A and B are shown apart, each in its own frame.
Chain A
């Protein structure tokens, strides 16, 4: 999944869609003659046929769909799909990536025209768009596919039995390190955060011209990934009722460690994506990076032109207690169907096919520079694709997907939820942590401020918030 670092994040307004759906108002559409009025998923209602090994509704009408996505080489996915469903034409539009696309999406939704049928969204904005009623419940056509996806991903696109999108890719987190530097200075790959911190200080003494790692001070999504990996569950709830608990001792511990390392000069606090950061990546200034399964294809390949001398490799993410196996997710996307779509069934079929059909998965997981999607698939069948298992030339020929990320994927904490106000939360967290790292306040105070701001905003917008 392509990442965007222009970090204006998305907030969500969950509530009513869920409330209304649960109350039985349902999300029916004219084309949906086969759902019962309570909107319950009825997989058997749509007559299924097997398409490339997938049980999908047979679709005999004609449809033209508009698809907003920023996946590399997405047109290929369209071409493959249209071979299997020649009666469905798909028009791919590059409406920008991440926040840029979301802003456009918000614009067209509010304007009521120009809304795409299928739209690429990240997991952290799903609660917002589900709640604003922008997305279509596609469970009548796709709920039979649930078992084919990594469980936590299906959770994050569903509310109860209602499904609002098909998970596309995920980003289980891991540690990336320059093995060339590690062998040069005889460093061991850290398995706990304690080791990470100690080694960071050590390394900085050994080579003051470099940093042991960097802290993305402009990426709230990444910061929450760190909390996710630490076992934090800052948001719980659905509909109008949420529990917000951001400033926990664990969260304080996580950011305090990073603060200490930044202060000691061992870790650089920097805006990921900025010109300076790009230059530093290329110069190999960071001995390690906390990344995720797509880090090599989204970051290393585009920005580091000296991969062969840096020799990056991937490893398991450090743990807070020795012996723990807890991971978080950073990034990952969904293909969602919009409420405004005139062809919701066709759109649902398309979204499901491109993310679960073996013919598509082979393309999806192939590296981007080979013309593929460069994705770490949410559909577990993707793990069996040969190209997925290949040694990764960007990572010194390590088969990182098999070695590291396929193993990390099931360790991602399934309890973690995103809030309906992600944009607001990210902005607050980035601002406050920035202040804390600049020495203007303690980490404890920073997180308390974020907690209060988020609770106030949510309550002002009519949510029932408990802490």
Chain B
């Protein structure tokens, strides 16, 4: 029972009668609330459910049958096969690319940000605060401002149209540094560090053996946020890449989508089916991951925000 319920359950005849009325009101409100929650849940589920159903249809069925009706014959596997046969299975390539980008960025961001956060939290040097405020301020800069000049800058570095060219800029996470700095400052006791240094441990051992294990929850949080953020990123790879085999899923599926408005000479490629099936396969892994790792993800995200 919740505290409200405990507090309001007091024995008396008046309250006995009131309790009956109160119970009715309570149930009524519960019904209303549940109804509301269900309606909202339906709203959030509609597009995904539609996608699931649509991916079982062929092109003509898509246009002729109702949006929530399943066709007599489920074409899902045919659609998937069609998708993977497109352009020599480039879809599989896009999938792997997304994993490469997201994984690399997540891991490297954590490494880089935790080191920087540690330096700002536990070391004392001139200009430390100024540096921190610069990093903080850069969080406010809309990311896309730098994107277009970024690919011009990457040219002498030979990073244009490469994996690294997309990964490296995404590692720069002022938020990550800010977040880890605060976390380290609050959670890592100075005494532990002093003790280790007195014992003669070199800095990198102190960092690796002492700081990192203590801040693991924060690192997990940052890992998740970076992974998801990179997985969803569209604009940066769109601008920096022009080789289809390097595209992550969002950019790749956009290529398919833009085929909708382009008459295809090859009629065996019904574009709607491709786009819909591609979208389904692209979002399923993340959705399944979310359902399975829900607790960790939510804890991670909310820990982050609470610390803020």
Contacts and interface: CB of A to CB of B under 8 A. Distances in A.
Direct contact between the two chains A and B in their complex (CB within 8 A): yes
B264 A302 contact: yes
Given A114-B242, A275-B260, A73 B151 contact: no
Looking at chain A's contact residues, the main secondary structure is loop
Interface string A170-192: 00000000000000000000000
Size class of the contact patch on chain A? 20 to 34
Given A73-B265, A107-B239, A114-B161, A273 B260 contact: yes
Contacts of A2: 262-263, 265
Contacts of B154: 111
Interface in B236-272: 239, 242-243, 255, 258, 260-267, 272
Size class of the contact patch on chain B? 20 to 34
A429 B239 CA distance: 27
Contact of B261 (A6, A113, A279): A6
Given A107-B151, A111-B160, A369-B267, A4 B242 contact: no
B155 interface: yes
A258 B65 CA distance: 34
B152 interface: yes
Contacts of B264: 302
B255 A374 contact: no
Interface in A284-331: 298-299, 302-303
B63 interface: yes
B75 to A, nearest CB: 18
Contacts of B272: 275
A4 B267 contact: no
Interface stretch (A95-103, A349-357, A407-415): A95-103
A100 B258 contact: yes
A63 B293 CA distance: 55
A368 interface: yes
B20 to A, nearest CB: 57
Contacts of A225: none
Nearest to A74: B265
B168 to A, nearest CB: 16
A298 B265 CA distance: 8
B261 A4 contact: yes
Given A111-B151, A111-B152, A104 B242 contact: yes
A5 B243 CA distance: 22
Contacts of A100: 255, 258, 262
A4 B258 contact: yes
A4 B158 CA distance: 31
Contacts of B261: 4-6, 273-274
B229 to A, nearest CB: 23
A76 to B, nearest CB: 12
Contacts of A72: 265-266
B265 A96 contact: no
B263 A302 contact: yes
A237 to B, nearest CB: 29
B262 A303 contact: no
A113 B160 contact: yes
A342 interface: no
B155 A112 contact: yes
B259 to A, nearest CB: 8
Contact of A298 (B63, B160, B263): B263
Interface string A84-98: 000000000001111
A4 B272 CA distance: 16
Contact of B160 (A95, A114, A299): A114
Contacts of A264: none
B155 A98 contact: no
A3 B265 contact: no
B265 A107 contact: no
Contacts of A98: 262
A271 to B, nearest CB: 9
A279 B62 CA distance: 11
Contacts of A110: 151-152
Interface string B221-244: 000000000000000000100110
9 contacts: A3-B263, A4-B258, A70-B262, A111-B161, A114-B242, A273-B261, A279-B63, A369-B265, A369-B267
Given A111-B152, A111-B160, 4 more contacts: A95-B242, A107-B151, A114-B160, A273-B262
